[in-house]
Amino acid sequence: MRWKTEDILKSFEDDPTIIFANHVTTSSGGDWDTPGIILTPNNSSDSLHIRGFRYGDEPSLDDADDVDVSAIEVTDGRCSSGGLNTSCRECAVLYANVVSKLRQDGWLVVNTMDDYF
């Protein structure tokens, strides 16, 4: 599917079940093929990290903000096993709503991209 950072952020902002205090986007690079979207729930110092990646020997990216990706990883960034590891209630609710929204929109959502490499 096509990752467009701004469209994904807008879809979160337009969904009344996805409530967060703020968001930050990070640069692409490292193991991920897209910029990261970091959502921080209200009344929490924890956050969710959302990133797209591709598997296989695909060509390098010209524009990481607008690229086909194989799947999206959603994690709280606490450990390498991925997924949700925090005890923060607000983060857990946000995680469930974000994963549900992404899946409803047709994305393959995984706890960790490590399972694919």
User: Structure pTM?
Assistant: 0.85
Instruction: Write down how long the chain is.
Output: 117
Tell me which DSSP letter residue 60 carries.
P
Q: Could you list the pLDDT tens digit for every one of the 117 residues in the chain? A: 888 888 999 999 999 988 888 888 776 666 667 888 999 988 888 889 898 888 765 655 667 778 888 899 998 877 666 778 888 899 999 999 999 999 999 999 987 776 665
Residues 23 and 10: beta-carbon distance below 8 Å: no
> In this structure, what is the dihedral angle of CA atoms 103, 108, 110, 112, given to the nearest 10 degrees?
-140
